[in-house]
Amino acid sequence: MKRCSRQWPGGCAARTLPFSRTPWAGRVEKAFWLARERHCNGRLEIRMKVDVGLVRVLKGVLDALVAARRSPGRGLLRQQARAARRLRTDQWLAALDRAVGRSIQRKQAAADLLAEMTDLPEVAERFHAWLQDRDLAWRAEMIQRIGERGLQQFAEGLNPALAGDADELCQAYALTAAGELRSEVNLPAVLKLAADPNMPLTRRLVWALKDYAHPRCRSALQRIFKTAADEEDRVITAWGLGRIGDRRAIHYLRKILDDPP
């Protein structure tokens, strides 16, 4: 009987297993490795057949969200998040990654699912990692989710994107997310962009200032209100100024609506 060697994961020394080179040997070896408990680099790592079942169940959870199309309702998300919490183990995120595989739809569904579970430390860590993802399109998508879901604990992680350390799409989505969150930690970065003469006036910046409607935004909003060539930009800034009590802006809005002063 021949002896075949296999390198143990995690940097452990190679072990030799007495498997013959018969057609069924590969299946037997695979089952052995799935069931084996091993200690690698001082850390107990368990690979059991139950992991395969966990992946299968999580795949079903993701497929239920995919079937609900791009924007599943919050009720469905919470229901599936409760199901995922019941499946939580030390390796559940690794199992979730295996369930995602190469499917973009499942990856997006997994992000939607995890957005309902950000109170878990490992999920919060995953979102922080996504905010630094090398795939800028994915990073932008996660920034957008953070704003839409009101995930305040990740507000500070938007500041690098606001500063332009990624690309224009990430910066644009970060502006929108900052306006949706209205967190104090992002306001200085938003005001810095508003004061930058090299920063083109974008609708997202105007909306962010309007959404904040903070007294510190007054000068930036007034400047845009006076100089904006686009009438819609003037309406948006007047809306923001009106929320902080600017009489001129309120009068302008009343005039537009044909309301008596």
Domain that includes residue 34, residue range: 1-47
Q: Is 32 a member of any domain? A: yes
| Domain total of the chain | 1
Domain assignment present for 213 = no
Residue 35 counted as domain residue: yes
Task: Give the global pTM.
Answer: 0.76
Any domain includes 170: no
> Tens digit of pLDDT for each residue in 153-178?
999 999 999 999 989 999 999 999 99
Residue 149 lies inside a defined structural domain of this protein: no
Task: Report the pLDDT value the prediction gives residue 259, as an integer from 0 to 100.
Answer: 60
More confident residue, 76 or 25: 76
pLDDT, position 87: 86
Q: Quick one: average pLDDT of 218-235?
A: 93
- How far apart are the C-alpha atoms of 61 and 137, rounded to whole Å? 25
* Whole-number pLDDT of residue 205: 96
pLDDT at 44 over 50: no
In a domain, 36, yes or no: yes
The answer as to whether 127 is a domain residue is no
Q: Is residue 129 part of a domain?
A: no
Burial of 100-139, coded b for 16+ CB within 10 Å and e otherwise, reads beeeeebbbbbbbbbbbbbeeeebbebbeebbeeeeeeeb
